[in-house]
Amino acid sequence: MDDVVQWLSENWGWVAAIVVGILVVAAALNLLPDARIPTSPDFPTSGDEARDLAVGAIQIVTSEGKWNDPESHTIRDSKGLRSRLVSMWGLTDRESWLETLEELPQRRTDSLRDSLLELRAELARTSGRRPSQREWLAAAKERGASGRDVKSVINAVTEIEKSLKKSALRTVVLPAGATIESVRGYAQGQQIALATWGVALGFATREDIRPVLRQVSAEARRDFGSWEEFGRSYLLGRVMRLVEQGMPVEKAIEKNDDGIRAYGQLFDAKRGNSGPWSTLPW
């Protein structure tokens, strides 16, 4: 012990320098503003079109695009991104793109998951709070739904929601009192992004996709009451999709980190709520 004290007193300059260095790095990391949501300077950030595009913002930015770009230039200008998109989504021609766009809401439905979320929404409306996992399971059993599939959906949703309780850039995705009633927001967000990708791939023009953007955006507004509600639905749907494709829940949650970050950036609470989901009206 004496040796350590003696060494510290002889080398106090170095020790102080290291401590100060660590403090400076930590302070800089904390004080530096986080990156803003990727935004294109060539397209408006307000108005009807921007408001419609904002519905697809998480999907667009997590696919390396700019949220307000209806022509998806990032994808149009990158051969790698284009070929990845084509192979992932099977977008080989205009017909396949239109078919995917139209069928997306149906492809993102899952009878058991949707019915269980519907049941929980009912329970939440009755009790005025989000039911616990146990209450949800018991209510499902009461309705005649039991077995490993029911349990695994309820467990997965509960686990995912735990991960949504954390704060993303000073914005909590899922506050304690909120209940996610459906995952329809996920298909809607994807539809908006997919429409802009169709422009990037040369299957349509910016004008062609305007009615699609307007319609999907109107549906989202009918289904949800705020950007927060919509965003939560999108994120839960996004992770559930990975789980339904066979990914373990914890891995799917890890993969959603970029989605949670985009959610925070879209509100941008750190800069006084300057993100599009804060400035654009729902």
Partner 1 sequence: MEHPALVMRSWSRFIRSQGLSGSGFLAFVGGAVFAAAVVAVAWVVVPLLLPSQELLIRAIGVPLLLAGLVLSLALTLRSMRRGVLLQSWARHRGLGYVHQHRATRNSPWSGAPFPRTGGYVVRHHLIGDGFESARFRSVPDGRGYHSAGLVDSFTFVRFDLPTFVPHLVVTGNRRSVLRAAGLAIGSGRKLGGSIEFDSVFTLHCPADYERDALYIFTPDLLALLIDHAPGCDLELVDNSAYLYFSREPKIWNERVADDLLAVVDRLRRKLERQTRSYADGTREREVGAGASSSSASAAASGVSLGGLRLASKTSTRGRAVALAVWMPGFAVIAVVVAQALGWISL
| 192, HSE (Cβ side, Cα atoms, 13 Å) | 33
* Contacts (CB under 8 A) with partner 1, residues 175-194: 181-182, 184
**DSSP summary character for residue 171:** E
Per CB under 8 A, does 48 bind partner 1?
A: no
Residues 79-98, one symbol each (x = binds partner 1 by CB under 8 A, - = not), give --------------------
For residue 222, the minimal CB distance to partner 1 (Å) is 11
Non-local (6+) Cβ contacts of 175 within 8 A are: 165
Find the binder of partner 1 among 140, 174, 212, 239 (CB under 8 A).
140
Segment near partner 1 (CB under 8 A); pick from 8-16, 70-78, 117-125, 199-207? 117-125
Q: Which residue stretches of the chain are H helix?
A: 2-10, 12-31, 48-53, 57-62, 73-76, 79-89, 94-107, 111-127, 133-142, 148-164, 184-200, 206-223, 227-244, 249-255, 257-267, 276-279
Question: Given the complex with partner 1, which of 51 and 120 has the nearer CB atom?
Answer: 120
Question: Given the complex with partner 1, which of 36 and 151 has the nearer CB atom?
Answer: 151
Find the binder of partner 1 among 87, 146, 205, 215 (CB under 8 A).
146
Nearest of 280, 116, 85 to residue 183 by alpha carbon: 116
| 256, HSE (Cβ side, Cα atoms, 13 Å) | 32
Quick check: helix, strand or coil at residue 224?
A: coil
For residue 213, the minimal CB distance to partner 1 (Å) is 21
User: In the complex, which residues of this chain contact partner 1 (CB under 8 A)?
Assistant: 106, 109, 111-112, 114-119, 121-122, 125, 140, 143-150, 152, 181-182, 184, 245-248
